[in-house]
Amino acid sequence: MTEVGNRAVFGSDRPIGVAVLGMGNVGTEVVRILREHADDLRSRVGAPLVLRGVAVRRLDVDRGIPADLLTTDAEALVTRADVDLVVEVMGGIDPARGLIGAALSAGKSVVTANKALLADYTGELAAAAERSRADLYFEAAVAGAIPVVRPLIQSLSGDRVNRVVGIVNGTTNFILSAMDETGADYEVTLKEATRLGYAEADPTADVEGYDAAAKAAILASLAFHTRVTAADVYREGISNITAEDLETAAAVGCTVKLLAICERVPAGPGEPAPADGGKERISVRVYPALIPRKHPLSAVNGAFNAVVVEAENAGRLMFYGQGAGGAPTASAVMGDLVMAARNKFYGGRAPGESVYAELPIAPIGDTPTRYHVNLQVADRTGVLQAVAGEFAKHGVSISTVRQEGSDEGARLVVVTHHAEESALADTVAALAELESVTSVTSVLRLEGTEE
Amino acid sequence: MTEVGNRAVFGSDRPIGVAVLGMGNVGTEVVRILREHADDLRSRVGAPLVLRGVAVRRLDVDRGIPADLLTTDAEALVTRADVDLVVEVMGGIDPARGLIGAALSAGKSVVTANKALLADYTGELAAAAERSRADLYFEAAVAGAIPVVRPLIQSLSGDRVNRVVGIVNGTTNFILSAMDETGADYEVTLKEATRLGYAEADPTADVEGYDAAAKAAILASLAFHTRVTAADVYREGISNITAEDLETAAAVGCTVKLLAICERVPAGPGEPAPADGGKERISVRVYPALIPRKHPLSAVNGAFNAVVVEAENAGRLMFYGQGAGGAPTASAVMGDLVMAARNKFYGGRAPGESVYAELPIAPIGDTPTRYHVNLQVADRTGVLQAVAGEFAKHGVSISTVRQEGSDEGARLVVVTHHAEESALADTVAALAELESVTSVTSVLRLEGTEE
C-alpha cells in the first residue's frame, strides 16, 4: 500500500510551475527567492520550480523581472495549464477568495498568507481543495516566519492542546513596547510607529485587534479541531490604552500586551461538566492585558511575535520570531511552496481541514479572567469597605487591594481572582454609582498568572 | 496528477496497526495516549490506530496492559502483517538499528526518538526507508516535545539556514542553572541532580556532551542538507566547569550554558571564498560557553531546552519547551505517528534524507570563536604588557582586559575578539610559560555576542 503515494508523478525534468498573485513586500521576496535560490529549491523539491507569472494591478511599474512574466489577468494565470502551484500574497477578501477558489478547483495547490480570508473562508477553500485533491497551505498567515501553523497541525496532532496564547500583531506590540519604554501616550507612539513604517496609514486593522482576531480564529481552529471564524472571536484593541495604564502595570510588576488567547473552558452554565459527558467549550479572544514581567511573553518586544502553546503531554512550548515583513513572511511561504511542490512531484497531500471536534464557543460574558481595576475614591474611612462590598455582592473575589494617596483623594487598585466578564461588568457599573467612588479610571484584564 | 497521492489506500474501517518497541518512560506514555485518546486519534488519522504489540525485555512485570500485547520477540513483532507503523523508543544502537532496518525493509513506517542511532545511521536507515517507500520520522530525537526537526525539514525548506544554536540537553542545563543560582560546585550539583532524577546513575552521556553532540549532528544534517555524524561534532562536556567559572561569568554579565552550535563558516585556508566559487564549510560543536544574560538562551533554565535558528529570510527564530521526559517526548512521537498513519491511509510520504549540499566539516582548529581567558599573574608593572604581547604575537585580538587585585597577586580577565581555536591554544600555551603568569585559571568560549 505504500506504493501509491511515492511514485514520482512527474518526470524529473518536468518543472513545477508557480504563479504568484501580488507583488507587494511579500510577493517581491517570494519572486526573488525563487530566482536566487533556484538550485537549492530544485534539490529540495526534486524538480525545478519555475515562475510562470506574477499577477499585478499595474504593468507600468518596473519590478526588476522580465515584463512577459507580469500580467493583470490573475484569473487566467491561476488556471493556466503550466501552473501547478499558486502563491496568493495580494491580501484582502476579494478578489483573493475567488482566485484561490478557481485555482484549487483547477487542481492547483495554493499557498497563502491571507489571514483575513482564512479566518472567514477556510471551510469553503478547504472544501474546494478536498474536491480536487489539491493542497491549501497557510503557514505565513499567522506569525510570519514563525512555524506555528505546521506545529499545530502536524507536530501536536497526537496531543491535546489546552491553550494557545500569542502576541501575533507586530504593530500593536511595537506600540505597547514603546509606550512601556518611553512612558509616552498612545497617540504620540502611534504617530512614531507610522513614521517608522511599523503602522499603516490607516492602522485600524492592527490597533483595533482585527488582524490579531483573524489569527486567533485560525489558531483556535487548528488547536481545537473546530471551525472558528473571526466573528467568534471577542475583540478589543489597544487604542484606549493610556500611559497611565502602563505605569500602573509597571507598579505591579507587569506590562501590557495585546494577547490572542484560545483556550478550553468548562461547559456552559447548567450543562454537565465535560467529565460527566457535557461538552467543553472554547474561548477565543483578543484584548490588551497585563502580564507579569516574568512571563515569557512579556519579554517579546518591538515588532516581534511569539506564541505559547500548552498541551497535555508536550507541556508549555514557545515559538518566537519575526511575525511580519517581506522576507520573514516569504520564508514561511517558501517552506509551504516546497512542501506543496514535493506533494505534486511525489504524490501525497497536506493534511486537510480538521474540524471534527465542533466545540461550542463560550461567550465572553462567562469566560473567567482576572481583572485589575483602578479607582479614584474619596480619601475617607469606609470607602474600602464599600468598594469591597460591591465586589462581594457580585461574586467577584478580590486577590489584592492597594491604596495610594493622591492629590484628588485616594487611588485604589483592586486585583481580582478569576471572575466572569459579566460579573465584573456588573461590579464596575455598581462601583461607578457609589458616592465615594470618583471614577473608575481603568479596568484591565490580567493574564499569565498561575493564581 | 494530484489523483495519485490522495486515494484512501485503506478502506476506512481497516485499522492501522502500531507496534511499540520499548516500554520505559516514553513507551509507557505512548501506549497510554494510544489507548486514552483513541477517538481523537481516529478522527485525526481517518482510521483507527490499533496497538498490535509492545516489545519488552521481561514479561514478568505488570505494565497495566493486556499480557497478550507484550512480547520479547521484537523481531517478529516489527514484521507482522498487521503492523503498519513501528515506534522505536528502546534507545541504544543495538538491537534498535537492526529492528528499525527490518521494519523499514518490510515497508513499515518508523517513528523513533533514538538520537544516538540517528546521529550515526540516518543514512543507512533513510536508504532502507527509500527502498521500500516507507517513512522515517524522528521529531522526538531532538529537544523532546519541541518541534524543531519538522520546522527545519519542512517550514524552512525554502530558506537558507545559517546557524542553529541550542540548549538540547536537560541534565547539563539543570546542573549549570543550579550552579549559577546556588554557587555550588559541579560535583555537589551533579549529586543533587542525580537525587532528583535529572541525571542518570552513569551521567557520562549527558555531562560529557555525547547526547548533545548526537543532537547537534542531527540538527546540522537537517539545517545544511549535509550528512553529519556524531564523529564530525567537536565535543566538550561540563565536568570541568567550576563554581568560579560561573562567578566569573556573572561578573561580566554572562552565564554558562552547554551549547550545541551548527553554523556555516568560510571556506578553508587557501580555498577561494564561497562568493568566488569556493565551498563554504560547516562547523558543528558542543561545549560549555559564556553567553550574555540578555541573550534569549540565557533565560532557559532547569531541564528546559531551546533552539535558536537563524535563517537568511526568516531571521532569528526560537523554539522553547520541555526537552525530555516521558509525556513530552511521547507528544512528539505521537505527532509523527499521526502523520505516518495519515500517509499510510491517504498515500504520500515524509520528506526523505536531504544531503545534496555535501558541505565539508571545518575542523575545530580553524573555527573562530571568542574567548574569555582567566589568568593569575604577578602583581607588578609590565605584566599586562607581556600578556598582551603573547596575544598579539599569535594574532589573537583582545577585546577587553580587566585586572583585579587578589590575595596571591592579581587576576587578569582577557576577552578576545573572534580567534581561531588553534591560535588561542598556542597563545594559552605561551602564556603558561611566561614567568609573570602564575596560572591560566580557565579558558572559556564566549558565544552569543554580536561583537
List, for residues B269-293, the tens digit of each pLDDT value: 777 776 677 789 999 999 999 999 9
Task: Determine the angle formed by the axes of helices A25-36 and A38-45, rounding to 10 degrees.
Answer: 80
Scanning every residue of chain A, which has its alpha carbon at the shortest distance from the alpha carbon of B144? A314
Annotated binding site of A for L-homoserine: 200
Please indicate whether, in this complex, the C-beta atoms of B33 and A299 are within 8 angstroms of each other. no
Q: How far apart are CA B16 and CA A248, in angstroms?
A: 56
Stated as kind and residue range, the H or E segment containing B190 is: helix B186-195
Minimum distance, in Å, between the CA of residue A4 and any CA atom of chain B: 6
Residue B6 has pLDDT above 50, yes or no: no
Q: Who contacts A374 (Cβ-Cβ below 8 Å, separation ≥6)?
A: A248, A411, A412, A413, A440, A441, A442, A443, A444
Catalytic residues of A, by residue number, are 215
Could you give the CA distance from residue A303 to residue A308 in angstroms, rounded to a whole number? 17
Chain B nearest C-alpha distance from A353 (Å)? 10
Count the alpha carbons within 13 Å of B35 in the hemisphere toward its beta carbon. 13
Q: Which residues of B touch A145 (CB under 8 A)?
A: 311, 313-315, 317
Say how far apart CA A298 and CA B364 lie, in whole Å.
38
B279 vs A contacts (CB less than 8 Å): none
Question: CA A225 to CA A204: how far, in whole Å?
Answer: 30
- Looking at residue A298, its pLDDT comes to 94
Condensed to tens digits (0 to 9), the pLDDT of residues B385-400 reads 999 999 999 999 999 9
pLDDT at B274: 67
CB-based contact A180:A255 (threshold 8 Å): yes
Cβ atoms of B306 and B296 within 8 Å: the answer is yes
Interval A367-410: pLDDT, tens: 889 999 999 999 888 899 999 999 999 999 999 998 887 667 88
Q: Whole-angstrom distance between the N-terminal and C-terminal Cα of chain A?
A: 52
Average pLDDT of the residues in B111-128: 97
Residue type, A4: V
User: How much is the pLDDT for B13?
Assistant: 67
pLDDT value, residue A279: 80
pLDDT higher than threshold 70 for residue B222: yes
Candidates A296, A142, A275, A277; CA nearest to A221 is: A142
Q: Which residues of B are catalytic?
A: 215
Residues of B in contact with A344 (CB under 8 A): 1-2
Model pLDDT, residue A2: 30
Establish whether B182 is an annotated binding residue. Answer: no
Say what the pLDDT of residue A347 is: 85
pLDDT under 70 in chain A at which residues? 1-13, 274-275, 406-407, 451
Contacts of A105 in chain B (CB under 8 A): none
Q: What count of CB pairs under 8 Å joins A to B?
A: 246
A22-to-A26, A52, B136 alpha-carbon distances in Å: 8, 14, 37
Q: What is the pLDDT of residue B146?
A: 97
Q: Among B133, B165, B331, which would you mutate to test the A interface (most chain A Cβ atoms within 10 Å of its Cβ)?
A: B331
Q: How far is B422 from chain A (nearest CA, A)?
A: 33
Option in A150, A158, A311 nearest B337 (CB) = A158
